[in-house]
Amino acid sequence: MHEPSSATNTTKRHDAAISRANALAHALDTAFRIPGTPIRFGWDAVLGLVPVLGDSVGAVLGAYPILEGRRLGIRKRALSKMIWRLVLDWLLGLVPLLDLVLDVGYKANKRNAEHLARELELMSETDS
């Protein structure tokens, strides 16, 4: 019987991590749409309505792609960018109204999921 190659297992792990990060980013950043507009927001914006605690919960949830990237061995520079985005989102989220604008416009979680996907694809290309 043929054993799957290490590269195949790595690709499957990467694809699964990307899928989970994208699902979380969708829930946190774009799950809802304001009817009649292209404006999308997610649970991060809803959580942000509860001062400090809501933004902190959003930041804890948003740390998942960073932890996944670390576990899978992406570059430290990429992890640093992702951490910076999350910390900036959290800090600015502590400012009333600015947090709502940031959550609706900047979408740090979506950006981090995309960054994780790019890094994992780069790793897959260099391993081939």
Q: How far is CA 121 from CA 14, 69, 108, 125, in A?
A: 8, 12, 20, 6
- pLDDT tens digits for 63-107? 999 999 999 999 999 999 999 999 999 998 888 888 888 878 889
What is the pLDDT, as a whole number, of residue 109?
96
- pLDDT (mean) for 50-54: 91
Does the pTM of the predicted model rise above 0.85? yes
pLDDT of residue 93: 86
